[in-house]
Amino acid sequence: MSYEFLVASAIGVLVAGGIFLALRARTFQVVLGLTLISYAVNLFLFASGRLVLNRPPIWDKAVSEYTDPLPQALVLTAIVITFGMTAFVVILALRSFLETGSDHVDGDRVPCDAQDGLADGLADGEGTEP
Amino acid sequence: MSLADHLPILPVAIPALAAPFALLVMRRRRALAVGIAFFACLAQLAVAMLLMERVSGGTILAYALGAWPAPFGIVLVADRLAALMLVLTAVLALIVLTHAVVTRADRKGWHFHPLFQFQLMGLNGAFLTGDLFNLFVFFEVLLIASYGLMLHGQGPARLKAGVQYVVVNLVGSALFLIALGMLYALTGTLNMADMGLRVRDIAPEDQGLLRIAALLLASVFALKAAVVPLHLWLPRTYAAATPAVAALFAIMTKVGVYSLIRVVPQVFGEGAGAAAWAPAPWLLPAALVSACVGFAGVLTARSLAEQAAYAVIGSTGTLLIAVAGWSGASLGAGLYYLVHSTLAGAALFLVADIAARRRGSFGDAASPGPAFAGRGVAALMFMAGAIATTGLPPLSGFIGKLLILQSVAALPNWGWAWSVILGTTFIGVIGFARAGSAVFWKTAEGSHAPPAPDTRLDLVAPALALACLAVLSAGAGIATAYADAAAAQVLAPADSAAAVLTEGPR
């Protein structure tokens, strides 16, 4: 089994899991799904410079074969942005849950069940202690 | 090089410097922060005007950041289209900032002015950059600032809409990165001009991948432009945002349209093999449906802000009908309509805010309420905004739609374009007339208006937006000539590639 097949199937599985989770109704699953998708995207960007082993990343006259350093810079940028955005989404989802008493992404006033730690009567944004 | 050669970086540098300064003085000396924000907006307008004056003759200014030569370093490219978008952004920013300060909307949170400047930085950067990955970065800058601005003022409805807005845009960013990765793997470059030259030499077995990348990239831009079926995030977000912020967001969908106009002819134009004009066949049907859905929403909206949000979708659809022709005449008409529809959309949001501020608990709901103070003026402004949006004479919407109808008549499928544009105009007129007569004409029995606001200065900003529309109609000759020239320049990417790629180290 080749290296390329391994990386490609890993990206595929991550995207599939990410899409499944991102389509769920609760914010926590959606955030996890987005994280999986962003992992897949980072792997994909990494592979866009071709998968090669044991090659120097910097061009040198003495070296005839080298690996492309640019995708690594792109991945770094992508990681920084997605990391920051994931943190922001987590805080936003938490604030939204605490203020509306529902963590459903579609935003309708679905009463929370007991597992959420919120009794039905309290699900109005007050008394949000777990 | 002289100082004047650094002009293209200023629209990015000015807000980038103003934002942290505004942040520093925000708590102690609010007046100073407001002063910084206004000064930065005025400076951006002046720089944008200067840039427009310099590129209006047809020169293309390429600015190599850090003096790294073009295909390897990042370049900013200022041409007619970029300068037009910069001027539009600066004018809109001034109007919106005036409204936010006068209505004290900027006092509902601490960080309005810094976020506002970062938003402008992202917008200006996206309009100027000549590098595809840099476009992604500026998209993120403007999106991150927009998340903050969208949540400005807080409240449960805003938070709920905010979660959806952020999640949708994160998925969009992931798709953008996948498309970028594919394009980089295929062409080995991220510079748009360079990529446009290299797509011609792609091996036949990779043509399928190139086509997928083109369509993926186009769908990301369509998501930003809120084209049906990717529009579902927009009405709720814009209706929930603070009205001044929603008025600024009127230009956010146009960023998606701008990116399509910029990238498709340059990278996926003639000679791009299987990807040549790949997004084009999809664009016209999507645009037609967007126009229908948008103006149908105008008819059924329950509040003035929601109506304005649907009007933004509808006018973006109308704009894309013109863009989908990809001919010089239709693109020129589209660019004129783009400027008009941005200002008209902003004016609608601002007028909705004026009504909401005076109607107390009735807000901007499209139902009869109290007879509030200043109803006549507000009604006239709403009527002017509605006339502009639907495209009735004498305002610039009429000229824009007329130009679009005239230019698409030469294209195949013109029957669809004509019937949709004319039909949606009719539906839009009915929708606006219905909402306007309910809010400004009828009075609910027994309802009392709250005391009139202490200032009537809040009428200034929407009046300014409408005045800009009047100027755009009066100066239609000059404006359309410029738009046509900009469209011709966009459709001749070889000149732009020559200007960008010969730019050596300085």
Domain extents for chain A?
3-123
| Phi, psi of B63, rounded to the nearest 5 degrees | -120, 110
Task: Residue B130: name the closest of B68, B189, B78 by CA.
Answer: B78
- Look at residue A125 in the predicted model and tell me its pLDDT: 44
Q: Are B145 and B118 in contact (CB under 8 A)?
A: yes
**Is B151 within 8 Å of A37 when comparing Cβ atoms?**
no
Residue in this structure with the two tokens 């905004």, named with its chain if needed:
B385
- How many CB pairs below 8 Å do chains A and B form together? 93
* Segment B281-312, tens digit of pLDDT: 899 999 999 999 999 999 999 999 999 999 99
**Is A49 within 8 Å of B156 when comparing Cβ atoms?**
no
Helix axis angle, B304-323 to B414-440, nearest 10°: 160
Burial class (CB in 10 A: 0-12, 13-18, 19+), A64: exposed
Q: Give contacts of A88 with chain B, Cβ < 8 Å.
A: 144, 147, 166
Q: How far is residue B468's CA from residue B98's CA, in Å, rounded to a whole number?
A: 14
* Segment A61-93, tens digit of pLDDT: 777 777 888 888 889 988 998 889 999 999 999
Q: Stretch B332-340: mean pLDDT, rounded?
A: 96
Reading the block at residue B308, the tokens are: 């304005």
Q: Give contacts of B161 with chain A, Cβ < 8 Å.
A: 107
Q: Stretch B94-109: mean pLDDT, rounded?
A: 91
**Is B166 within 8 Å of A81 when comparing Cβ atoms?**
no
Percentage of chain B lying above the pLDDT 70 cut: 99
* Segment B387-439, tens digit of pLDDT: 999 999 889 999 999 999 999 998 888 899 999 999 999 999 999 999 999 99
- Look at residue A129 in the predicted model and tell me its pLDDT: 40
> What is the helix (H) or strand (E) element at residue B62, kind and residue range?
strand B61-64
**Is B174 within 8 Å of A105 when comparing Cβ atoms?**
no
Measured in whole angstroms, how far is the alpha carbon of residue B326 from the centre of its chain? 19
**Backbone angle region of B363, left / alpha / beta, with phi > 0 → left and psi within -120 to 50 → alpha:** left
Rounded to the nearest angstrom, the minimum Cα separation between B8 and chain A is 24
Nearest CA in chain B to A95: B159
Q: Stretch B337-359: mean pLDDT, rounded?
A: 93
Nearest CA in chain A to B161: A107
Q: How far is residue A42's CA from residue A79's CA, in Å, rounded to a whole number?
A: 7
Cβ of A36 under 8 Å from any chain B Cβ? no
**Is B170 within 8 Å of A100 when comparing Cβ atoms?**
no
**Is B159 within 8 Å of A70 when comparing Cβ atoms?**
no
Q: SS3 letters for B92-105?
A: HHHHHHHHHHHCCH
Q: Select the residue from A74, A76, A103, A109 to test the B interface by mutation, using most B Cβ atoms within 10 A.
A: A74
Reading the block at residue B477, the tokens are: 């000759």
**Is A96 within 8 Å of B160 when comparing Cβ atoms?**
yes
Measured in whole angstroms, how far is the alpha carbon of residue B491 from the centre of its chain? 21
Q: Stretch B160-185: mean pLDDT, rounded?
A: 92
Reading the block at residue B202, the tokens are: 């792609």
Residue B59, Cβ neighbours under 10 Å: how many?
12
Name the pLDDT band for A128 (thresholds 50, 70, 90). very low
Reading the block at residue B69, the tokens are: 């030569």
- SS3 label, residue A95: helix
Reading the block at residue B483, the tokens are: 């738009």
The mean of the pLDDT values for chain B is: 91
Q: Are A107 and A27 in contact (CB under 8 A)?
A: no
The mean of the pLDDT values for chain A is: 80
- Look at residue B141 in the predicted model and tell me its pLDDT: 93
| Phi, psi of B202, rounded to the nearest 5 degrees | -80, 135
Q: Give contacts of A68 with chain B, Cβ < 8 Å.
A: 188
Q: Which range (A37-41, A124-128, B222-226) has the least confidence?
A: A124-128
**Is B156 within 8 Å of A30 when comparing Cβ atoms?**
no
Task: Report which residue type is found at B472.
Answer: L
Q: Which residues of B95-104 are buried (b: 16+ CB within 10 A; e: fewer)?
A: bbbbbbbbbe
Q: Are B172 and A112 in contact (CB under 8 A)?
A: no
Q: Stretch B452-473: mean pLDDT, rounded?
A: 89
- Given a cut of 80, is residue B502 above it in pLDDT? no
- Given a cut of 70, is residue B77 above it in pLDDT? yes
Q: How far is residue B297's CA from residue B306's CA, in Å, rounded to a whole number?
A: 8
- Look at residue A122 in the predicted model and tell me its pLDDT: 46
Cβ of A113 under 8 Å from any chain B Cβ? no
Task: Report which residue type is found at B393.
Answer: P
| Phi, psi of B366, rounded to the nearest 5 degrees | -85, 60
Q: Give contacts of A78 with chain B, Cβ < 8 Å.
A: 177
Helices (H), B241-366: 243-249, 252-267, 280-300, 304-323, 328-358
- Look at residue B156 in the predicted model and tell me its pLDDT: 84
Q: Stretch B150-164: mean pLDDT, rounded?
A: 87
Q: State yes or no: ipTM above 0.85.
A: yes
Contacts of residue B374, defined as CB under 8 A and 6 or more positions apart, other chains included, come to B354, B358, B452, B456, B459
Q: Are B80 and B55 in contact (CB under 8 A)?
A: yes
Nearest CA in chain B to A45: B181
Contacts of residue B443, defined as CB under 8 A and 6 or more positions apart, other chains included, come to B368, B369, B370, B371
- SS3 label, residue B504: coil
> B450: which DSSP letter?
P
Q: Give contacts of A70 with chain B, Cβ < 8 Å.
A: 184, 190
Residue bearing the bigger pLDDT, B56 or A102: B56
**Is B178 within 8 Å of A41 when comparing Cβ atoms?**
yes
Q: Which range (A55-64, A102-111, B343-352) has the least confidence?
A: A102-111
Task: Residue B145: name the closest of B97, B104, B111 by CA.
Answer: B111
DSSP-assigned beta bridge partners for residue B369: B443
> A25: which DSSP letter?
S
Q: Give contacts of A8 with chain B, Cβ < 8 Å.
A: none
Task: Report which residue type is found at B114.
Answer: P
Q: How far is residue B230's CA from residue B282's CA, in Å, rounded to a whole number?
A: 13
> What is the helix (H) or strand (E) element at residue B64, kind and residue range?
strand B61-64
Q: Are A44 and A18 in contact (CB under 8 A)?
A: no
- Look at residue B448 in the predicted model and tell me its pLDDT: 76
Q: How far is residue A95's CA from residue B103's CA, in Å, rounded to a whole number?
A: 27
Task: Report which residue type is found at B244.
Answer: A
> What is the helix (H) or strand (E) element at residue B78, kind and residue range?
strand B75-78
Nearest CA in chain B to A103: B160
Q: Which CATH number is A3-123 given? A: 1.10.287
